Amino acid sequence: MKIEFAKPPAEELSDQPAPPRKAAKIGLEAVSKRKSALIIDDNNSIHAGESQSLPIFMSAFKTLGYDVKLEKSNETIYTTWKGYDIVVWSCSDDYSAVNTTKYMQMLIEYVDKGGRILLESGNVAAWAEEYGETALNRMFRETVLHSTGDWVYHDVGDLKLKTNHPIATTPNALPETIGFTPTDPGDDSGNANAVRILTDATGIYNWSSVAYEGTLVKDSIAKKSYGLIAYDSKEKNGGRIVYFAFDIDDIDSPDIQQKLIQNSVNWLGNGIKVSGLGMNIRLCSLPKPPERVFPKDIDPKRLQLIIMLAQKWVNGTVLHYCFLDQPAEYVGADEQKKVVRDGFNKWKQLGIGIKFEEVANPGDAQIRIGFLRGDGTWSAVGRDLFSVGPNERTMNFGWDLITEDPRGVDTPTHEIGHALGFPHEHQNPKAGIVWNEDAVYDWATRTQGWKKEDTDRNIISKIVPDEVEGSTWDPDSIMHYAFAAGLINEPEQYRNGLTPAGGLSERDITWVRTFYPPLDPTTSTDLTVNTPVPLSLGSGEQRDFTFVPDETRTYNFATEGESDTVMVLFEEKNNKRNQLAANDDSAENFNSHTSWGLTKGNKYVISIRLYHEWVKGDTTVKVW
C-alpha cells in the first residue's frame, strides 16, 4: 500500500539534493511472541510479519534480569500497569500507531501520574500530527510525545548525537553516529520520524540528514528534528519517558540495539516508581446547560428559588432509560451496561419516590445512554434533558467502566445522580474550597483535555446556594470529584489531595430521601370538580392530589394565586404512575395548568411542587 503524504511547507526545503537513500532491508518473518515488565505490542500493520522489535526488547530486558510480560494493545488492562516498573509500548512497523482514543487516554493518564514508559514507533509522531487537531490527539502529542505540531519528516539518515545525556553514556557509551537503515514497511513511511520537540523535552539524537522527496530540508530544521527523545518530570510527579522515533530493529548494529535499550532502561529505572494514588482520576464533564432568559425585573429571591429547583423532578416521576443501539459507536458491551444498571439499582435500593425503568425504544425514554469512546462521561442534569433532541444522548460513558475506572459502579451512580437533578458537590459554595486555579486549569487540560470554560463549568464555578440541600459540605458525596495533590489551597487538610470515600454517603442518602421521599398514598388529598384546595406548601415542597372522574371527558387543572409552581398529571394503575402532561409557570405571567381527556373511574394524581409564593397560603389548585 502506498501512503500519500501531504507536502511540507516549501520554505522548510533547501535547494540541496539528498544523499542516496540506503536500499531498504527485506523484513524478516516475525518470530513467535512469548507470553511472559510490561511490553505492549501495538503493531497492527498488515505487514506485521516483518517486525523484529519485540524479540529485541524481550532479549534486552531478560539480559537485565527483568521478569517480562508481553501483552497485545487491545488486551492490556490499564489498571495493572502501575504494578510494573517500566512499560514498553512498541508500535514497530504500524503506520497508524496509537490510533484509538482508548490507547491515547491510557498513555496520557499513565505518564501524567508518574508512570515510566519507553515508546517505540517510527510513525506515531506523523500520525499524531496528521490528526492533531482534536483535543485528545493534541494532548497525546504534547503529554506523551512532547512534540510540536510542526511537519514530521520520514526520509532520514543515521542517528547523530546532539546532547550528552545518561541515555547516551550510562552504562554504555554509545557512538556519536548510530547507523540506521529502515525496513521497507510496505507503505513508504520509512519507519522513522524526524520530530520537533517541546521545550520541556530533551533531544538526544537527531538525524544526519532529513529530506523530502529527494530534497534536503534546511539545516536549521534538520538540527532540531530528533529521533531519540527523553522527558523527565521528576520535580513534579517522577514521570520519565523515552521515545524512540524509529523502529529499534532498524538500527544497523544488534549490539547498539541492546546497549541503547539497556541505557534507556537504566535511566528510566532511576526515576520514582508510580504509585496507585490518583492513577485513574476520571472526571464527569457536564455539558453546557440550556440558557434560560429571565425578565430583567424579576425579584432576586424568586429567581434564586427557580434556578435552585428547576432541574428537580416532581416526586413520583418514573424515569425510563434505554441503551442506544445505533449508531454503532454508541453501543456498549453487555458488561458495560451491567455496571450502569447496577448504578440505577444503587438509587432504587433507597426506596425513593423516583422510579427507574429500562425500555428498549429510545422514543419512550427520558434517559438515553451511549458509550461513545473519547466523548467524555456526562449526563444532562435533571429536567435539562428535555432540552436534548429526542434521538440524542442524554448520558454518555466515554471509557471502559471495568478496566479503565477504579470507581466502578460509582461512576454511573454519579451520572444518575445528575439525571436526578443533583449538581457537583465540590461546587457547593458552602465547601469553602479555595482553588489553586492555575494548577487546576493545567491539570484539567492535561488529564481531561478540557478548555478553561469546561474547567470553570465543572470545577471552579460555584453553584447557586441551595438551602434545601442542607447547610454543610459533604466531601464524601457521590457527586464529589477526587482531586490530586496541589489543586486545593483551602481547606488545608486537602492540599495533598481529596478522595471521596466511595459509594453513596450518609448525606447523599438523607438528602435524596428528603427531596424524593417514598410515595405515601395516605398523604394525598382528594380533588373534586370546581372545589379549590389550598396548596399549603413551603418553597421546594410538593403535594399530591388524587382525582377520580365520574365521567369520561376533558378536564382542566390549574393553580390560582401569585406563585411559581410545576404541575404534573399522572395516571396511576396498580401503584404505578404514568405521566400524561406537565406544565411549569416559573417566571411566567400565568399559572400552571393542563388539560387532558380522562376516563371515568380511573385514578389520576396531580403533583405540584412550589418554587415561590408571594403571600404564604395564597395558592390553590382546582379541577373543572
Residue-by-residue DSSP string for 205-269: EEES-EEETTEEEPHHHHTT-EEEEEEEETTTT-EEEEEESB-GGGBS-HHHHHHHHHHHHHHHH
Alpha-carbon distance of 445 to 422, in angstroms, equals: 25
Domain ranges of the chain: 10-269, 300-515, 521-623
Greater model confidence, 96 or 148: 148
Q: What is the mean pLDDT of residues 424-440?
A: 87
Alpha-carbon distance of 303 to 464, in angstroms, equals: 11
Residue 569: name the closest of 317, 212, 297, 276 by CA.
Answer: 317
| Minimum mean pLDDT range among 76-90, 95-109, 352-366, 549-563 | 95-109
Domain 521-623, second-level architecture = Sandwich (2.60)
> How many alpha carbons lie under 13 Å from residue 453 in its C-beta half-sphere?
3
Q: Cell triple for residue 612?
A: 415561590
Greater model confidence, 426 or 469: 426
* Per-residue pLDDT tens over the stretch 471-505: 578 999 999 988 887 889 998 888 888 888 889 99
What is the separation of C-alpha 440 from the centre of its chain, rounded to a whole number of angstroms? 16
* First vs last C-alpha separation in the chain: 76
Residue 218 has φ and ψ, to the nearest 5°, of -65, 150
* Cα torsion 511, 517, 523, 525: sign: positive
Q: What is the mean pLDDT of residues 155-159?
A: 93
* pLDDT at residue 77 tops 70: yes
Q: What is the 3-state secondary structure (H, E, C) of 139-165?
A: HHHHHHHCECCCCCECEECCEEECCCC
Residue 483: name the closest of 471, 473, 495 by CA.
Answer: 495
* Per-residue pLDDT tens over the stretch 228-279: 999 987 655 556 899 999 999 999 999 999 999 999 998 887 654 433 333 3
Q: Cell triple for residue 413?
A: 451512580
pLDDT at 47: 53
Residue 51: name the closest of 92, 15, 91 by CA.
Answer: 92
Amino acid symbol at 183: T
| Minimum mean pLDDT range among 408-417, 516-525, 528-537 | 516-525
Residue 566 has φ and ψ, to the nearest 5°, of -120, 135
pLDDT at 277: 35
Average pLDDT, the chain: 84
- CA R_g for the chain: 31
DSSP state of 554: E
Q: What is the mean pLDDT of residues 357-385?
A: 92
Instruction: Please report which residue ranges of 374-477 form alpha helices under DSSP H.
Output: 410-419, 437-448, 452-455
Q: What is the mean pLDDT of residues 128-139?
A: 71
Query: Same topology for domains 10-269 and 521-623, yes or no?
Result: no
Amino acid symbol at 514: T
CATH number for the domain formed by residue range(s) 10-269: 3.40.50.880
Percent of the chain scored above 90 by pLDDT?
41
* pLDDT at residue 33 tops 50: no
pLDDT at 4: 52
Q: What is the 3-state secondary structure (H, E, C) of 38-90?
A: EEEECCCCCCHHHCCHHHHHHHHHHHCCCCCEEEECCCCCHHHHHHCCCEEEE
Q: What is the mean pLDDT of residues 33-55?
A: 68
- At residue 175, the 3 state secondary structure works out as coil
* pLDDT at residue 601 tops 70: yes
Amino acid symbol at 339: V
Helix axes 410-419, 334-348, angle to 10 degrees: 60
pLDDT at 237: 58
Q: Cell triple for residue 337?
A: 451496561
In this prediction, residue 552 has a pLDDT band, given cuts at 50, 70 and 90, of very high
Q: Cell triple for residue 267?
A: 535511566
Alpha-carbon distance of 105 to 374, in angstroms, equals: 8
- Which residues are within 8 A (CB) of 21 and not within 5 positions of it... i.e. 6 or more apart? 155
8 A C-beta contact, residue 153 and residue 217 = yes
pLDDT at 26: 44
Alpha-carbon distance of 45 to 135, in angstroms, equals: 25
| Minimum mean pLDDT range among 14-18, 223-227, 360-364 | 14-18
Alpha-carbon distance of 20 to 202, in angstroms, equals: 29
pLDDT at 260: 96
In this prediction, residue 295 has a pLDDT band, given cuts at 50, 70 and 90, of confident
DSSP state of 97: T
Alpha-carbon distance of 253 to 190, in angstroms, equals: 18
Output the CA–CA distances (angstroms, integers) from residue 156 to 180, 207, 351, in the order listed: 9, 6, 67
* pLDDT at residue 347 tops 60: yes
CATH number for the domain formed by residue range(s) 300-515: 3.40.390.10
| Count of Cβ atoms closer than 10 Å to residue 72 Cβ | 12
Q: Cell triple for residue 611?
A: 418554587
H helices then E strands: how many in the chain?
13, 29
Report the phi/psi class of residue 421: left, alpha or beta, with left for phi > 0 and alpha for psi in -120 to 50.
left
In this prediction, residue 113 has a pLDDT band, given cuts at 50, 70 and 90, of confident
DSSP state of 539: T
Q: Cell triple for residue 346?
A: 444503587
Q: What is the mean pLDDT of residues 77-94?
A: 84
* pLDDT at residue 45 tops 70: no
DSSP state of 600: T
Q: What is the mean pLDDT of residues 199-207?
A: 93
